[in-house]
């Protein structure tokens, strides 16, 4: 019996889920995914290239934007093998170790992205609330330390997840609800008590996205309070316009993530198509939309991008 259990543990294989449709349609479905990945990778790479090569953009807000672009690039690269593999090659299987590695990087990068969005909100708050000390507070060494803290926090919180899942034995029907691996999905496949994983998973969400979204909300309350104290309505609108892109990205990131997390925990397998769609939205849309939104809303960045393409 022990040998059977060891075999189950060591050779666990999961089946990924794709959008509903006939097998012949999967290649056509892969086309928009390829387009999304292409735009995401090219868009974020252009942001990084422009910020790196243009000294006038070596400011805190553009450095934070570069951090966001790096994170989005990494998320895209992490999900490409399984999402495109399932539609283009009809390859649904993924081993336990590969699944644990993928879910670790997905959750790690989402946690880092949440931290970067919080740092960008802090950047806006300091810029509006205390513009005279903006450059002295957000110095390059200080920004580098903030980025390092964001990475270390994510590592400390997310690193236990694959080890907690590795100790389980898994049943035969290991069909996941997405085209990639997530902690809350894999732990449901275990033939063991998952109470510890469930509690720790909820703890990670509250400590990262829950806390970060609350702090971002409070920062914008303070920003609105500061802006509304400005006498000139024209100046007030101008100041708000400089911040409008960030709340749009925040809403897109947190709304899809929180909704998906709630469905996973309380939906009990209901709305499978909604789960799949929200999963794609939460992982594919932010890397796609972030460079587009910031390029459109940032005049300095937009002008330099146009110059690069017109050369």
Q: Which of 71-75, 81-85, 235-239 has the lowest mean pLDDT?
A: 235-239
pLDDT band at 20, cuts 50/70/90?
A: low
The Cα 108–Cα 103 span in angstroms is: 8
- pLDDT, position 77: 93
Provide the 10 A C-beta neighbour count for residue 262.
Answer: 11
Mapped onto helix, strand or coil, the DSSP state of residue 212 is helix
The total of other beta-carbon atoms located within 10 Å of residue 285's CB is 16
pTM score, whole prediction: 0.90
Q: What is the mean pLDDT of residues 134-145?
A: 90
pLDDT for the residue 107: 94
Q: Range of 223's domain?
A: 2-310
Q: With 80 as the cut, is the pLDDT of residue 213 above it?
A: yes
Provide DSSP, 42-96: HHHHHHHHHHHH-GGG-SHHHHHHHHHHHHHHHHHHHHHHHHHHHHHS---EEEH
Provide, rounded to the nearest whole percent, the portion of the chain with pLDDT above 90. Answer: 34
Query: What's the CATH code of the domain at 162?
Result: 1.20.1070.10
Split at pLDDT 50, 70, 90, the class of 66 is very high
User: Can you give the pLDDT at residue 212?
Assistant: 93
Structurally, how many domains does the chain consist of?
1
- Confidence tier at 135 by pLDDT (50, 70, 90): confident
pLDDT of residue 231: 59
In this structure, the strands spanning 13-15 and 93-95 are antiparallel
Asked if residue 214 has pLDDT above 90, the reply is yes
Provide the pLDDT for residue 298: 76
């Amino acid at each position: 019996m022990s040998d059977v259990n060891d075999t189950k543990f060591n050779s666990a294989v999961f089946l990924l889920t794709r959008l509903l449709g006939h097998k012949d349609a999967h290649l056509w479905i892969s086309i928009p995914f390829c387009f999304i990945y292409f735009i995401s990778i090219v868009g974020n790479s252009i942001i990084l290239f422009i910020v790196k090569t243009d000294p006038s953009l070596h400011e805190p807000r553009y450095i934070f934007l570069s951090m966001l672009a790096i994170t989005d690039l990494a998320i895209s690269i992490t999900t490409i093998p399984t999402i495109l593999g399932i539609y283009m090659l009809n390859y649904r299987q993924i081993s336990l170790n590969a699944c644990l590695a993928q879910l670790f990087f997905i959750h790690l990068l989402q946690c880092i992205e949440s931290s970067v969005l919080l740092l960008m909100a802090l950047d806006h708050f300091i810029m509006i609330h205390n513009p005279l000390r903006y450059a002295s507070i957000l110095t390059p060494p200080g920004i580098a330390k903030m980025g390092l803290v964001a990475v270390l926090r994510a590592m400390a919180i997310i690193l236990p997840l694959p080890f907690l899942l590795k100790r389980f034995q898994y049943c035969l029907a290991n069909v996941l609800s997405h085209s990639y691996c997530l902690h809350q999905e894999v732990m449901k496949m275990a033939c063991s008590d998952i109470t510890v994983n469930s509690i720790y998973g909820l703890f990670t969400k509250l400590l990262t996205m829950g806390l970060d979204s609350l702090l971002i909300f409070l920062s914008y309350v303070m920003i609105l309070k500061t802006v509304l104290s400005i006498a000139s309505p024209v100046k007030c609108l101008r100041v708000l316009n400089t911040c409008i892109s960030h709340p749009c990205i925040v809403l897109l990131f947190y709304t899809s993530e929180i909704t998906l997390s709630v469905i996973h925990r309380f939906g009990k397998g209901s709305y499978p198509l909604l789960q799949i769609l929200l999963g794609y939205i939460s992982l594919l849309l932010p890397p796609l939309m972030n460079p587009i939104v910031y390029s459109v809303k940032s005049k300095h960045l937009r002008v330099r991008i146009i110059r690069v393409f017109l050369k």
